Amino acid sequence: MEKVVLVAWILVLSVWTTPVLSKYYSESRPYESVQEKRTHLRFYVHDILSGNKPSAVQIAGPNTTKKEDGPTPFGSTFAINDLLTEGPEITSKVIGNARGIYVSSSQDKDLTLVLYIDLGFTSGKFKGSSLSVFSRNPITENHRELAVVGGRGRFRLARWFVLVKTYSLNTTNGDAVLEYTVEVVHP
């Protein structure tokens, strides 16, 4: 027991007496504004819930025993990996993917989702760049607006909006093609 106490005291004293050889470093510089660019993009998102390889799958659901009305009951959470294409056809040139999650956040008849998606571009001028979208999405409205809250690559510090229009919707299985018109400002 005496040896344990002695070792403990040696450790405490050695830590207490060890000089600190590093210093906090900080440097502030005046902000130099950068000329910003405005970029306009239009593409299509294919949100596929059906088939043997869906691009959106439910990963959590409400803990309830009552039968909920509607295709996505309140609290349903989906993970997505949707294709981005140049045109509305699934055979159009693929330019990237939308990856993220959406949650059914409405308890009334007007279905609303809260979504976070990363619109990643895999070809063209913006290959390797992405836009971050975090917004409320009232999907029963034909035209809606989502917030662009950031990005990476050529879209670092991006902001502004995405206008979403439902191009087609299969009400039987939930598959949808969405037209995204993006307006962003970025350095």
> Which CATH number is 124's domain given?
2.40.480.10
**83 within some domain:** yes
Q: What's the structural domain count of the chain?
A: 1
The SS3 of residue 15 is helix
Q: Which domain holds residue 107?
A: 34-186
**Pair of tokens at residue 49:** 């819930």
**9 within some domain:** no
Q: Provide the Cα torsion 12, 18, 19, 20; round to 10°.
A: -70
Model-level pTM greater than 0.85?
Answer: no
**105 within some domain:** yes
**27 within some domain:** no
**2 within some domain:** no
Q: CA-based angle 71:145:68, to the nearest 5?
A: 15
Per-residue pLDDT of the chain (187 residues; tens, 9 = 90+): 677 777 776 776 666 555 656 566 678 888 888 899 999 999 999 999 999 999 999 999 887 756 665 667 888 999 999 999 999 999 999 999 999 999 999 888 788 999 999 999 999 999 999 999 999 999 888 789 999 999 999 999 999 999 999 999 998 898 999 999 999 999 9
DSSP codes of every residue in 108-137: SSS-EEEEEEEEEE-SGGGTT-EEEEEEEE
**155 within some domain:** yes
Amino acid 141 reads E
Alpha-helical regions (H) of the chain: 2-17
**66 within some domain:** yes
Look at residues 183, 181, 119 and name the one whose alpha carbon lies nearest to residue 151: 119
**16 within some domain:** no
5-40 burial string, b = 16+ CB within 10 Å, else e? eeeeeeeeeeeeeeeeeeeeeeeeeeeeeeeeeebe
**Pair of tokens at residue 172:** 């039987």
**Pair of tokens at residue 32:** 């130099």
Burial class (CB in 10 A: 0-12, 13-18, 19+), 64: exposed
